Chain A
Amino acid sequence: MPAVIETTDLVRDFLLGEIPVHVLKGITFQLERGDFVAIMGPSGSGKSTLMNILGCLDKPTSGTYKLEGSGIGDLTRDQLAEIRNKKIGFVFQQFNLLARTSALENVELPLLYTDLPAKERRERALKALQAVGLGDRSEHQPSQLSGGQQQRVAIARAMVNNPKIILADEPTGALDSRTSLEIMAIFQRLNREDAITILLVTHDAHMASYANREIHFKDGRIESNEIIAKPRDAQADLAALPPEAVETVKEEVTA
């Protein structure tokens, strides 16, 4: 069985006026099914560029990227869109939910671009919402939800079409530490139970410690790529939090 993600000597140049800027300078790595990778590195080290390529939003200048064994280099715009739809889920720092649109419809969005009948779309969207613990908020609009809840809706949207990989770019960057833990717990569960490969870009070393592999970037190159032998368990850490903290979070949510 081929690796879920396999890149060979990925290079990505941008033109700044007439001067080429080498953002990725030859990235080679593999990820297997069920990997949970934290990608770390300073700003401008090429993390986001790599994520864009891995997410089929961008193509490398040279080098190859194979997703489940098939290269994406020759695909058209619409073929890439189809791959994003079927195999990739995105989670963003700013949630990127559609305003004035219910949680359920937000989750349903990727399914609108499939051939599924309306009824099945609804059912799958609701199931995804229930999986992130928001089954009872399906008719709420993003403005009626807390930040953590909004991010959970976004995760439900990312997993609704059963993707192979989820790309999360600073998903906890806008959340407090307790909500961040909740998000990490959901990622760990998706990773363990559904064997979804997760790539997590983060600046927060603590968040990275919940992954089972850590890749460090520097100046467009991979500096280190190491397996974390004993990743932390987010669910356990969450349970260990003092109860008063739980209270404050609840107040914030209802406020």
Chain B
Amino acid sequence: MNKLLSSLRIALRALRVNRARSALTMLGIIIGVAAVIAMVGVGAGATARIQDQIQSIGSNLIIVMPGSVSTNGVRLGSGGVSTLSEDDAKAIAAECPAVAAVAPTLRGGVQIVFGSANWATSAQGVTPEYTTIRDLTMKSGQFFTDQDVDAGAKVAVLGETVSQNLFGGTDPTGQVIIVKNVPFTVVGVLTPKGQSPTGQDQDDVILLPISSARQKVIGGNRANAKSVGNLMVQAVSPDQMEQALSEMTTLLRERHRIQPGHDDDFTVRNLTEVFAAQETSAQVMSILLGAIASVSLIVGGIGIMNIMLVSVTERTREIGLRQAVGARTRDILSQFLVEAVTLSLLGGIIGIVVGLTASALISYFAEWSTEVSLLSVLMAFLFSALVGVFFGYYPARKAAYLDPIEALRYE
């Protein structure tokens, strides 16, 4: 320990002799470490934001949409005909073991009026299961119940955006709003969820019992009294997603009497997977950013090697003298190695400070979320030490194996 401290002191003194040169050499490492920390911070921030968004749509989600139908050889596009019904939803919930919950939804655009204020938004006819699947919680009031759905009650739950636009800051619970000329009583407001991974405002929504929505607001399919738009399905666990998909496909083909060889009249999509792809791309981006920043750290290391080589040449006589008075190979080696590592570690420490400042500035001015983890700071510190050892070794070795006679005679 004492030995290390004294060699550190000797190294610092040697570095002080050429202050400007040492500072410029460190600059390479400072920029490298700061770039790594800031870039990894930006990348981690992006990944974290996408993860939040994926969390906000709910976990293990599968969406079943009406598919294309061909009637007498005429193929209609997806969603052209609502082929799904509430009974399908009930059957899936009852018969597919890999499915935890099913929520039928029916969607349509509506204009809502309250007093002199009005607001256009998207209305969703849903059942209480929807709250489980989408992981919804109430900011105020209650969600409507199965009884409300069965009775076709004229009750509504508002998203935060709708609530703000119609009621300002006041609590809308108990107020009566007009949706497409039909009065609905507001029973609650949802806790805000923010943006979806596709950038939509998930709070600009009004939730109605699916029965009331179909009869009074959105309108159903005359041929199918219990028609629904999509089915939101939650699998029991992430590794049961595939199982749930195949169970549902089999069941729905059976229920819709689709002959083998014919196309499904519905589409099943694994939502989590879609958004997970975005997360992966964000991670790839952060790895790329980190890799590019690492290159500058390596360039900084080459700068250290360069300066250490110059320093060894300049101090040839000193090395010769030290050898003459008894310095062993390892003594000289460690002296120059400690010097290189001191340079790179000092640069690393300053670089960490600069990197933290830079990422704070990026979040403040560019309004990008950045997340600097302790791990990335530690890694940067360790990496800069490694750079010092790696790039300091060659010059140090060169010094340690100088011929003392030649070195003493060097002018």
Cross-interface CB contact of B6 among A77, A85, A92, A118, cutoff 8 Å: A118
Interchain CB contact under 8 A, A100 and B13? yes
Interchain CB contact under 8 A, A81 and B2? no
Interchain CB contact under 8 A, A81 and B408? no
Interchain CB contact under 8 A, B321 and A113? no
Question: How far, in Å, is B17 (CB) from chain A's closest CB?
Answer: 6
Q: Contacts of B13 on A, CB cut-off 8 Å?
A: 100-101
A219 CA / B230 CA spacing, docked (Å): 107
Q: Contacts of B408 on A, CB cut-off 8 Å?
A: 57, 92, 96
Q: Contacts of A78 on B, CB cut-off 8 Å?
A: 328-330
Question: How far, in Å, is B304 (CB) from chain A's closest CB?
Answer: 22
Q: Mark A18-59, 1 if CB is under 8 A from B, else 0.
A: 000000000000000000000000000000000010010110
With A100-B13, A113-B331 as given contacts, are A86 and B326 in contact (CB-CB < 8 Å)? yes
Q: Find residues 95-125 in chain A having any chain B CB closer than 8 Å to their own CB.
A: 96, 98, 100-101, 109-110, 112-114, 117-118
Give the number of residue pairs across the A-B interface with Cβ within 8 Å: 58
Query: Does any Cβ of A come within 8 Å of B223's Cβ?
Result: no
Of all chain B residues, the one with the shortest Cβ separation from A109 is B325
Interchain CB contact under 8 A, A110 and B326? yes
Interchain CB contact under 8 A, A96 and B405? no
Number of B interface residues in the complex (CB < 8 A): 20
Interchain CB contact under 8 A, A96 and B321? yes
Query: Does any Cβ of B come within 8 Å of A90's Cβ?
Result: yes
Query: Does any Cβ of B come within 8 Å of A82's Cβ?
Result: yes
Please tell me the size bucket of the interface on A.
Answer: 20 to 34
Cross-interface CB contact of B325 among A58, A77, A85, A118, cutoff 8 Å: A85
Q: Contacts of B317 on A, CB cut-off 8 Å?
A: 96
Q: Chain A CB within 10 Å — which of B2, B330, B404 has the most?
A: B404
Question: How far, in Å, is B406 (CB) from chain A's closest CB?
Answer: 10
Cross-interface CB contact of B327 among A55, A81, A92, A100, cutoff 8 Å: A81
Query: Does any Cβ of A come within 8 Å of B12's Cβ?
Result: no
Interchain CB contact under 8 A, B326 and A113? yes
Query: Does any Cβ of B come within 8 Å of A213's Cβ?
Result: no
Question: How far, in Å, is A135 (CB) from chain B's closest CB?
Answer: 21
With A98-B321, A100-B13 as given contacts, are A81 and B405 in contact (CB-CB < 8 Å)? no
Question: How far, in Å, is A141 (CB) from chain B's closest CB?
Answer: 12
Q: Find residues 55-75 in chain A having any chain B CB closer than 8 Å to their own CB.
A: 55, 57-58
B-side interface residues toward A, CB under 8 Å? 2, 6, 13, 17, 317-318, 321-331, 404-405, 408
A-side interface residues toward B, CB under 8 Å? 52, 55, 57-58, 77-78, 81-82, 84-86, 90, 92, 96, 98, 100-101, 109-110, 112-114, 117-118, 157, 161
Task: List 19 A-B residue pairs with CB atoms under 8 Å apart, sorted by A's residue number.
Answer: A52-B405, A57-B408, A58-B405, A77-B328, A84-B323, A84-B324, A84-B326, A85-B325, A85-B326, A86-B326, A96-B317, A98-B318, A100-B13, A109-B325, A110-B325, A112-B327, A113-B327, A114-B326, A118-B6
